Structure 1
Amino acid sequence: MFVTRQMLPLLLALAGISGCSSPPTTDSNTGQRPLIVAHRGGAADFPENTLLAIDNALRNGADMLWLTVQLSRDGVPVLYRPADLSANTQARGAVNEHTLAQLQALNAGWNFRQTAANGQVTYPYRDQPVSLPSLRQALAAIPDSVPVILDMKALPAAPQALAVARLLEQLQAWDRVLIYSTDASYQQAFAAYPQARLFESRDSTRDRLASVALAHSCSAPPAPGTWVAFEYRRSVQLVESFTLGEARSRVDARLWTPVAVDCFQSKGQVRMLAIGINTIEDYQAAACLKIDAVLVDSPRAMRDMRQRLERPLPCH
C-alpha cells in the first residue's frame, strides 16, 4: 500500500506512535475473547498443514482451523501452502506437478526446525516423517463442531473450486467450512455453489479499511453475516515526492481501529478476523476492539496468553 507525505500524521497515529492516548477504560463485555484460529494448523508449533499440527492445535484449545488448499496433478485437494515443495519437503516442484500418491510419499515436516535455548537448530521430523494430507483426510480428523477456513492458493481458481465443492458435497460438509482467498477469482469460481460460505474479497476489505483510515469514509459496509479478514498490522510505504526524486520509508499501520470496526458493523453484525495476532498485547487489543477471531501461528503459546489476560480487560 502506498501513501503520500500528507497522510503521515494519520499513519503515525495508526501505528500507535502519536504520543497521545486516552485514559484506560473497562471492557463492558468482560466475557468476550476472540476465537483462536490456528494458522495452517499452528505453523509455529508443528509442521504446517499436517494432521499432526491439526491434532495438537485442537489439544491446545484452538477454536477454528485455517488450512491451505492446493490441487494435486490428479485433481485431489491437498493441504500445502508454499509455491514449491522444497519449502517444506525434501522434493522440488509445484504441487500440481505431482499425484496424490507422490505427494503423500513426501515428508511434510522435512524443513521444520526448532531452536533450543542454547541456539542449536534441529530438524526433529526428518527422523519422524509426517505426511502431506488430503483435504478429505483433514476433514475426517476434525470434529464436525470445529469450523474450518479453507485458504485457496492454486490458480486457475475454477478447477480447484470444482474439486473442493465436489468433496464438500460428498461429505455434506458445506456448513463446516468457510472459503477464503487472496485472489478474487475464487469469489467468481465459488459463485456457482450457493452453499458456499465465502469471506468478503480481500480487495474489498482492504479498500474499505484504507478508506476509513485515509479518507474518513465508510464505503459500502458488508452485508450482515459476512466474514472479513485482514492483517492487524500492515506495513505501508510512505512516498515523499521531491523536485529531483522521491524518498520511501515504511510505516507499521494498524488499520483495525474502533472507527473501522464501527464502519464494518454499521449495517449489522459482520464477523471480523484479524490476521497475524501472536502477542498478548495484540490479542488484548483485538479483544478490546471486539474482533471476533484472530489468526495465530502458535495455538500453544496463545492458549497460555489468553489465560493470563486481565479480567476485566483494560481497554484504551
Structure 2
Amino acid sequence: MLAARRELVGSWNAAPEPAAAEALTRLSRPTLVYEISSRVGLFSDNIVVAMLLAPQLVAPFFLTQRVAMIALGQLQEIGNATWAALIELHAQGLTAVFRHRLLHLSSWVTSASIILLVPVLLLNRSFIVLWLGERNYAGPMVTILVCANVWLWAVSSLWGWVVFGAGCIAAWTPYAVAFSAVNITVSLAATWWLGIYGPLLGTTAAFLFVTSWAMPGVLQRLFGVARRDLYAAIARPFAWGAPYAGAMAIAVSTIHPTTWIALAASAGLCVAAGGTCWWFVGLKDADRQVWIAETRSAIAPVF
C-alpha cells in the first residue's frame, strides 16, 4: 500500500510530456475565447430585457423559459454521453461507422426534441398560469422561440462535442465569436423594436446565420460528414413530428387544462403519443430491433 502511494505521489510530481504540454497550450487560448463568447451570449438576454424594457419583465421572461431549458439539459446529455465513443471510432479509423452513428444520433436528438418540446409548446402557458399566475407568462412568442432554440442548441451541442472532443476547438472558435456578435446585435435591435422576445430572436438568428452552416462545414472538413447528410438527419423526424404536433394541438385545445391533474394528463398524453409515433413511424424495423436488443442488455444486469 505504501509503495503504491509513493508511486501515485511520484506520478503527480512527474513533469508532463512535452508533446502533451504543447497540445494543451495550443488548446488553452481558443478554449478561453470560446468560453467567453459562449458566456456572453448565454447570460446577456436577461440584461438586454432589463436594460431596454424594464427590470420587472426579467422574471416572466426567465420563468417562461424554465421548462424548455430543463428539457435542453436532458437533450444535451445525449451528446455528453456519446461523444467519447464517437471520437474513439474516428481514432480507430472506423470512419463509416463514425459517420453512421453521428447521423443516427443527430436524428435521435431531433426526435427526442420533438417528443419533449411539443408538450412545452402547447402547455407552457397553462403551466405558468397554474404555477405563478398569468402575469408571469411572457407570451406565446417567447415559448415558440425558446422551443426552437432548444432544438437548435441540442443539435449543435451534439455536433460541438464531437469537434471539441477531437481537440479541434480552434476550428470553431471564430464561429463562436461570430455567433455571439450576431446574437447580441440582433437581440438589442429586436428587443428595441419588437419587445420581450427580442433576445430569443437574436439567439435564433445566430443559430440560423452562423451555426446552421458553419458547424456542418466544420464537421465535413474534419470528419468527412457531408452537409446534406447532416441536414437530412435532423430534418427527417419532422415528417412524423409535424403531424404529431398538429394532432396534439387539437387534442390539447379540447382539454383546456386548468388544473394540475388535467395538465399532467395532457403532458403525459403528448409524451406518450410522441414516443409512439417515433417508435412506429420514425424508426425502421432494423432500428427497433437494435433498440430492443440494447434495452435488454442494459436491464439484464439488474435482474
TM range, smaller chain? under 0.3
Identify the structure with the greater strand proportion: 1
More helix by share: 2
Q: TM-score, normalised by structure 1?
A: 0.26
Computing the radius of gyration over CA atoms, which structure comes out larger, 1 or 2?
2
